[in-house]
A and B are shown apart, each in its own frame.
Chain A
Amino acid sequence: GAVVSQHPSRVICKSGTSVKIECRSLDFQATTMFWYRQFPKQSLMLMATSNEGSKATYEQGVEKDKFLINHASLTLSTLTVTSAHPEDSSFYICSALGGPPEQFFGPGTRLTVL
């Protein structure tokens, strides 16, 4: 089956720093990827849709200047959390759109901001 990886799996950073999370589709090309955020004991909330070669589209309430998304190739999308604060601590999950509408999910990245 289609495999999606994320790197890093865990990251701890100081408040005010920026963190980059990578999402890769390993065995297929994905023109569309999605970024989700999941707080403890809650559901996944879609943050943004990442489209290769164009700007990401953000869901309502998600700051595009804080969560920078780049989808420079058909197998890689990156999410950069800029000037991270403790309230940004969360589980960030990406998915890649395969043969639509099926999405393949990455294993997630645990971000802890001190």
Chain B
Amino acid sequence: GESVGLHLPTLSVQEGDNSIINCAYSNSASDYFIWYKQESGKGPQFIIDIRSNMDKRQGQRVTVLLNKTVKHLSLQIAATQPGDSAVYFCAETFNDYKLSFGAGTTVTVRA
């Protein structure tokens, strides 16, 4: 199937600043997108999701934006904290619910 990719492999951000993590996807038929956070040695942790009929969704300190015209997904983290340091993956699903993960962005928060 199609793969989901990320623009940048690493992101360094000052504590307290906002973070923006980008993701490009290639399959216009994808109907559901998810952002996951993975800390070292652990399984992925759900952050936020968005359906293809939406262009924005907000959670606690996080916002996901979906631009279907250019097939772009982004995750914004407000007031980044040291605990936000992790690898972030975007993923897309198709009708059979199988997830296709992007390459991942490593976020490092500087004190």
Residues of A within 8 A of B (CB): 4, 6, 32, 34, 42-46, 49, 91, 93, 95, 97, 100-108, 110
Contacts and interface: CB of A to CB of B under 8 A. Distances in A.
Interface of B: 32, 36, 41-46, 49, 89, 93, 96-104
Contacts of B98: 34, 46, 49
A32 B36 CA distance: 20
Contacts, number: 49
Given A105-B44, A106-B43, A43 B89 contact: yes
Contacts of A105: 36, 43-46
A101 B101 contact: no
Contacts of A32: 97
B43 A108 contact: yes
